[in-house]
Amino acid sequence: MKFQKIISALRFNRFFWGGCAFILLLNLVLYATVIQRQENHIERLQALYSKKRNPDVPRERDEIAKYRIAGMELKVFKGKLPPKEAFVDRVRELHQLLHQNGLQMQKLIFKPERVGPLELWKYTSSFSVRGRYSQLKPFIAGLQNSQNLFCLDHVSFKRVSRSPGLIDMHLEVSTYFK
């Protein structure tokens, strides 16, 4: 009796069940033709990427060659650094960037130290500058786009509570010499 009710319910809603069967078949056809092909293509691309990204484990000679190349690159880098006598020019450039953007700093004191296995001279200074965002942004961009090597070790901003629109920027800048 229950089986007869189910059959009659299916016959009564035959358009609904026919539509469901059609959608199911359409999904199977789409999966078999489009989606499966895309999955295979994606798997091939991922395999190619991982092959290029993680090549076979290099031999010992390749490792030694990497260190030699890195050593040569470090020598080239050190060769491009100016002697420490050019320090005054770097400070002058920093002052020009500040002046071009209408900024003034309170004090600029550089601390020299010898660093790294290449024994480079590192001159570091921490200073604060107050100005509007429209002045600070081109100043930082000027430091980054400079032909000389300026490293921004630390940058922090603080809104000036008494003056709307003004920002205090604290910088730690380093520069390197032979």
Q: What is the pLDDT of residues 16-35, one digit of tens each?
A: 878 888 999 998 888 888 88
What percent of the chain lies above the pLDDT cut of 90? 9
Judge whether 173 and 125 are in contact, CB under 8 Å. Answer: yes
Give 107-166 pLDDT, tens digit per residue. 788 898 998 887 888 999 988 888 888 899 999 999 888 888 888 899 998 888 887 888
pTM of the model: 0.57
The per-residue pLDDT for 1 is: 66
Name which of 84, 89, 90, 98 is nearest 129 in CA terms.
Answer: 98
The per-residue pLDDT for 113 is: 92
Judge whether 110 and 124 are in contact, CB under 8 Å. Answer: yes
Q: Across the beta sheet with 151-159, what order do the strands follow? A: 110-115, 120-131, 167-177, 151-159
Query: Could you tell me the pLDDT band of residue 47, with boundaries at 50, 70 and 90?
Result: confident
Does residue 63 surpass a pLDDT of 70? yes
Rounded to whole angstroms, the Cα distance separating 178 from 168 reads 33
